[in-house]
Amino acid sequence: MLKNLFAGLLVTILLLPFLANSAAAQQNVTLHFFYSDFCPHCAKERVFLDKLEDKYQELEVKSYEVSGSLENQLTFKSMGDKLGADTSGVPFTVIGERYFIGYAGDQITGAAIEKEINKILSESSSDQDAPGEINLPVFGSLDLKSVSLPALTIIIAFLDGFNPCAMWVLLFLISLLLGMKNKKKMWLLGGAFIFTSGLVYFLFLATWLNLFLFIGFVSWVRIIIGVIAIAAASYYLWDFFKNKGVCKTIGSSFKNKVFDRLKKIVAEKHIAVALVGIVALAASVNVVELVCSAGLPAVFTEVLTLSSLPVWQYYMYLVIYIIIFMIDDLFVFVVAMLTLQATGISTKYSKLSRIIGAVVLFIIGILMLFKPELLMFA
């Protein structure tokens, strides 16, 4: 089962460029630029638009100098009337049904213009015929036209969940719970630990998401995240070959303290006190474990912000991420409680997921730097 699952993941990773809504089939975008030869802001925007034309082969910029051409003035007025916009000043930029008055610099107005271009390119590409359907192991038939962002969410969350630093506390907790006679307490403490772990990770993802949404669509943020993704992928590969896939971030002294604390919590006779203790311990441990897996969540939430989704969809994807992320923990815990035998995820699958995760990070990092439009799934 797991072999088929990883085979499906590998095939899906190789198909990531095609899952991004078949971006190669995009239509042209026309930008109307009204300017004056005497306007310094127009000159700055002109330089920026020249760069955009070089960057996007699908972009066509039509320029209209309005200070010396009656024809261009009439075109300007007609365009403004159609959009219900004030045409008393320049620069005035129109892309589809969206217009921009003035130019506050490359990082503000320029970034907004580029975002609108990417939005139109994404929408036009989604209207093209997809390459069809493919059959993947376990996943079954996948429609390449519609599963890009959900597929990417599942892949990253699944790989993130196999972090070798993420399950050691749960396995030790299970070993303690199996010696208890109170079945209700077993399920309650284990369930509280898993729920708290998922909640802490959700809050972590939400923090990244809101930070990127607050910063907005700024090119240097995307570039930084792209560089971080490539650096993290390189580190994961280096760490894998150095430590053979074993987590070295969390020291043995910290683990011993956690183990001692777990023993006291499980031995606590009052369920309410034990429950509070397990929740507090799960929260503190997961905060420490975030050091091991900050790369994948940061990159994933940046991809979400690039997609320009409604707010509720952002959080829907975070919930999906957490569910997939916690599947391995839930599986191990439920099986142990039902069979009364401790089990775990094979080390070889944890190692393999580490390598695949590094590959995914590297691919996304490259796309963020050179083809960010492929990561815009709106």
Regarding whether 206 and 114 lie in a shared domain, the answer is no
Decide if 135 is inside a domain.
no
Do residues 363 and 278 share a domain?
Answer: yes
* Average of per-residue pLDDT across 241-266: 68
Q: How far apart are CA 235 and CA 246, in angstroms?
A: 14
Domain boundary among 126, 156, 172: 126
Return the CA Rg of the chain.
26
List the CATH number of the domain containing 56: 3.40.30.10
Per-residue confidence at 312, pLDDT binned at 50, 70, 90? confident
Q: Which residues pair with 100 in a beta bridge?
A: 93
pTM of the model: 0.54
> In the predicted model, is pLDDT for residue 341 greater than 50?
yes
Residue 36 pLDDT greater than 90, yes or no: yes
CA distances for 372 relative to 17, 147, 290, 302, 362, angstroms: 11, 18, 26, 11, 14
Which pLDDT does position 125 carry in this prediction? 57
Task: Give residue 372's pLDDT.
Answer: 73
In a domain? residue 289: yes
Residue with token string 């390449």: 144
Q: 171: how many CB neighbours lie within 10 A of its CB?
A: 16
List pLDDT tens digits, range 53-76: 998 988 999 999 998 899 999 999
Range of the domain at 27: 23-126
12 has pLDDT over 60:
no
What is the strand order of the sheet 92-95 is part of?
Answer: 59-65, 29-35, 92-95, 98-101
- Are 207 and 297 in a shared domain? yes
Domain shared by 192 and 280, yes or no: yes
pLDDT of amino acid 11: 45
Q: Are residues 119 and 157 in the same domain?
A: no
Residue with tokens 């590969």: 237
Average the pLDDT over 310-333 and give the result.
87
Q: What is the pLDDT of residue 95?
A: 93
